[in-house]
Amino acid sequence: MDHPAAVLYLEHDGKVLLVNSDGDGPQIPVMNNTGETRFRFPTEKEVQDLGLEWEVKNTFNILGFNVIKAHPLIEWPENWAWKDECISDDSVHPIARESIYRSIHRLVSKVMILNSEGKVLMGKIERGHFVGHWTLPGGYMDHDEHPAIGCVRETVEEMGIEIELNEDAPIITQRIFTNEGISFVSFTYKAEWNGNDSQIKLKENEIADYAWLSPSEAMSRAVSGFDIAALKHL
């Protein structure tokens, strides 16, 4: 199936618009279906021909194609495809499936651990997105894991210490870092820890070093936008 150079990814509360190779839609996928690729996202002209208007949210490069993420200016389109049912149907073009996959938020849970001097614990990373840089303890949340549990688990794994979160609500931030369209949502909590540094046991091949830094110095060393946004609250 030939694919246009640019398409519209129209999504409204979990529903997306698919068309066939002639631009006719909406088309409905079948989960776990195998076979010929027949459905794709529509072009701007095809959406106009369907009498729809839209509001552009962002533009991404998906496997070399321009995908314009947009919100259709209509009531909820009950007869469109559920986005979750598009991913497992071979009839849906890989560009659409990849776009939908990338639209699902990646959830990260982090924590600002403060000692009695008001300094923040940070680790120097050996692998992942921020190799060689300083970040707050934390990482990806496990499936079905609450963020308040995730950052405590990550602190044990990375620093070897047990913490208890305080009662402050987490600082929640969201960002898309590249034109690939992958969205991250971060939950950053606070905790106080007044143990002995000899209790800190760094995770081998992941955390190279640790340091207690003033909030201002922590902000100056941080490279993660999520960490910087959270540290501003101190």
- Consecutive 10-residue averages of pLDDT for the chain (234 residues): 94 97 94 90 97 96 95 96 93 95 93 97 88 93 95 97 96 88 94 96 95 97 94 93
The answer on 127 and 138 residing in a single domain is yes
Residues 135, 120: contact at Cβ < 8 Å?
Answer: no
Report the C-alpha gap between 200 and 122 in whole angstroms: 12
Report the C-alpha gap between 132 and 123 in whole angstroms: 10
The answer on 124 and 34 residing in a single domain is no
The answer to whether position 172 is within a domain reads yes
Task: Of 14, 38, 12, give the one whose Cα is nearest residue 25.
Answer: 38
The answer to whether position 196 is within a domain reads yes
The answer to whether position 129 is within a domain reads yes
The answer on 158 and 73 residing in a single domain is no
Structural domain boundaries enclosing 53: 6-103
The answer on 144 and 214 residing in a single domain is yes
The answer on 122 and 202 residing in a single domain is yes
Domain boundary among 79, 103, 127: 103
The answer on 139 and 96 residing in a single domain is no
The answer to whether position 1 is within a domain reads no
The answer on 120 and 94 residing in a single domain is no
CATH number at residue 144: 3.90.79.10
Domain boundary among 53, 72, 103: 103
The answer on 127 and 201 residing in a single domain is yes
Instruction: Tell me if residue 227 falls in helix, strand or coil.
Output: helix
The answer on 65 and 176 residing in a single domain is no
Instruction: Tell me if residue 154 falls in helix, strand or coil.
Output: helix
Residue 173, token pair as written in the block: 């931030």
Size (the chain), residues: 234
Domain boundary among 71, 103, 135: 103
**Where would I find the beta strands (DSSP E) of the chain?**
6-12, 15-16, 54-62, 65-72, 81-82, 106-114, 120-125, 134-135, 138-140, 171-176, 183-192, 207-213
Report the C-alpha gap between 2 and 18 in whole angstroms: 15
**132 torsion bin: left (phi>0), alpha (psi -120 to 50), beta (else):** left
User: What is this structure's pTM?
Assistant: 0.84
Residue 55 has phi, psi (to 5 degrees) of -120, 120
Domain count, the chain: 2
Report the C-alpha gap between 183 and 108 in whole angstroms: 11
The answer to whether position 153 is within a domain reads yes
The answer on 23 and 12 residing in a single domain is yes
Report the C-alpha gap between 232 and 234 in whole angstroms: 5
Report the C-alpha gap between 116 and 135 in whole angstroms: 20
The answer on 115 and 90 residing in a single domain is no
H/E run at residue 99: helix 94-103
Q: Which pLDDT value is given to residue 121?
A: 98
The answer on 59 and 82 residing in a single domain is yes
